[in-house]
Amino acid sequence: MNKRIDIIVVGTGASGLFYALNMPANKQILMITKTTVDASDSYLAQGGICVLKGEADYSSFFEDTLKAGHYENDKASVDVMIRTSPEIIEDLIALGVEFEKKNGEFAFTKEGAHSKARILYHEDMTGKEITGKLLAQIKKRKNITILEEMTMVDLICEDNMCSGVVACDRKGYINLFESDYVILASGGLGGLFDSSTNFRHLTGDALAIALKRKIELENISYIQIHPTTLYSQKPGRRFLISESVRGEGAVLYNRRMERFVDELLPRDLLTMAIREQMEKDESDFVWLSMKAMGSENIKTRFPNIYQHCLEEGYDVTKECIPVTPAQHYFMGGIKVDLDSKTSMKHLYAIGEISCNRVHGANRLASNSLLESLVFAKRAATHISQNYETGKQNKPYVNTNEFKDLEQLKKDYKESILAEIERSKVVELFNHTKA
């Protein structure tokens, strides 16, 4: 298939959907996704979304974000994210998103490394609530088309300008989609890891393509491990036990059923403490207890976690569950500015695949959905205000490069992993110099 469209969005998670909803209706938008439209990590987000509760909360929100990120955050990015958060919440509510309320007022929860409760939530399925409502609105827009099982394998570009996407469909056919702009919203890279909370198909292909096309990357060795996922010997994606659980009072025990750590430490520090305890215990997990929260509260506040654990043979209202760290989030990615522009003209990156350094070296809990939406909207605003028609004469694309797709996947994976290792050395050198 050869097709020309105004804008192509690669990915159907929260950032991609929100970007498309913020573009004018006179722009024809094609969204492509590697599997099904709802198989994005945005759907899996349990905890919630941060919001600035008022000017008095600004300093602590800012400091909490920087402290969790080991002060490697870009302060301008953090400021934009925090200042824009009330506007984003208003947008979500206008689009039909529902957040928990108590006595008619928003209920806020607290998670690790937050000094105050500033997180809005919807049960323990906030990501599903937000992304599902965004998708429902997308389906009403006549200018937006979604193609499922359409995998980006390259960008169409020349002279450092992007003018489309090369994609492979479910039958293995190569499709050329030309466009004025391309928006990369393709998610993280958890599929590269044996143990991850991410969907297995999220393998960071955009990073390999960026390397191939000499698009700038940043901090790609900054990969976050979540301290508490449900321990299982089954293969496949690891089930997340949200940080909100610990924020609401759950505690961690060693094999002797003794508390051994402050459960609200930043994720990287808590992960380190859990791993040290696992080594002492000669165990593959530690224990997490939610019992003190009370049976009814658990079932109401965390129905998804309660039900999943029950299916795995654990009643969290009565017993501890085994938890262990697993790969969770990607703080690095394709380097972007405050408007989500990459180093290539007419190419933008948003969501987890992008890096605006807002998270620094370690993401603060529940900043991911917020950051994705804030900078997706900024990308839409910038493109709308500065729209330029791209190249009308498409660059030559040698489709023979994509005949062996399995080998291409292997090559992309190897190039990403090699660059991550190279980046680790560079970061270590930079830290040593500092």
SS (H, E, C) 18-70: HHHHCCCCCCCEEEECCCCCCCCHHHHCCCCEECCCCHHHHHHHHHHHHHHCC
Number of H helices, E strands in the chain: 11, 18
Give the tens place of pLDDT for each residue, 93-115. Answer: 999 999 999 999 999 999 989 99
Q: Across residues 262-290, what is the average pLDDT?
A: 96
Beta bridge partners of 304: none
Q: Across residues 217-227, what is the average pLDDT?
A: 95
Q: Which two tokens stand for residue 10?
A: 């690669």
Picking from 334, 391, 73, 395, the residue whose alpha carbon sits closest to that of residue 184 is 334
Q: Out of 118, 237, 246, 267, which one is annotated catalytic?
A: 267
User: What's the pLDDT score for residue 391?
Assistant: 72
User: What's the pLDDT score for residue 242?
Assistant: 92
| Phi, psi torsion values for 348, nearest 5 degrees | -120, 155
pLDDT above 90: residue 20: yes
User: DSSP letters along 213-264, please?
Assistant: TT--EE-TT-EEEEEEEE--SSSSPPPB--HHHHHTT-EEE-TTS-B-S-TT
User: What's the pLDDT score for residue 232?
Assistant: 93
Q: Which residues contact 343 (CB under 8 A, 6 or more apart)?
A: 160, 215, 216, 335
Cα distance between residue 52 and residue 79, in whole Å: 11
- Quick one: pLDDT band at residue 430, thresholds 50, 70, 90? low
Cα distance between residue 346 and residue 160, in whole Å: 9
Give the tens place of pLDDT for each residue, 375-419. Answer: 999 999 999 999 999 777 778 898 888 989 999 999 999 999 999
- Quick one: pLDDT band at residue 29, thresholds 50, 70, 90? very high
Q: Which two tokens stand for residue 129?
A: 């609530």
Pick left, alpha or beta for residue 389 (phi over 0 → left; psi -120 to 50 → alpha; otherwise beta).
Answer: beta
User: What's the pLDDT score for residue 433?
Assistant: 44
Give the tens place of pLDDT for each residue, 31-43. Answer: 999 999 999 999 9
User: What's the pLDDT score for residue 427?
Assistant: 52
| Phi, psi torsion values for 330, nearest 5 degrees | -115, 110
pLDDT above 70: residue 428: no
User: What's the pLDDT score for residue 345?
Assistant: 97
Picking from 406, 409, 405, the residue whose alpha carbon sits closest to that of residue 417 is 409
Picking from 208, 217, 189, the residue whose alpha carbon sits closest to that of residue 336 is 217
User: What's the pLDDT score for residue 390?
Assistant: 77
2-222+331-433 has which CATH code? 3.50.50.60
pLDDT above 70: residue 2: yes
Beta bridge partners of 322: 287
User: DSSP letters along 97-124, please?
Assistant: ----EETTEE--B--TT-SS--EE-STT
- Quick one: pLDDT band at residue 296, thresholds 50, 70, 90? very high
pLDDT above 60: residue 253: yes
Q: How far apart are the first and last CA of the chain?
A: 51
Picking from 204, 33, 127, 202, the residue whose alpha carbon sits closest to that of residue 368 is 127
User: What's the pLDDT score for residue 431?
Assistant: 45
User: What's the pLDDT score for residue 379?
Assistant: 98
- Quick one: pLDDT band at residue 235, thresholds 50, 70, 90? confident
Mean pLDDT of the chain: 94
Strands 151-158 and 161-168: antiparallel
CATH 3.40.50.970 fits domain 233-327: no
User: Domain boundaries in the chain?
Assistant: 2-222+331-433, 233-327
pLDDT above 80: residue 426: no
Q: Across residues 276-282, what is the average pLDDT?
A: 97
pLDDT above 70: residue 260: yes
pLDDT above 60: residue 338: yes
pLDDT above 80: residue 285: yes
Angle at the Cα of 383 from the Cα atoms of 381 and 386, rounded to 5 degrees: 105
Residue carrying structure tokens 């790609």:
220
Q: Across residues 264-286, what is the average pLDDT?
A: 96
Rg of the chain on CA atoms, in Å: 21
Strands 354-355 and 2-10: unpaired
> What helix, strand, coil percent values describe the chain, rounded to 5?
40, 20, 40
Cα distance between residue 412 and residue 420, in whole Å: 12
Strands 49-50 and 119-120: antiparallel
141 catalytically annotated: no
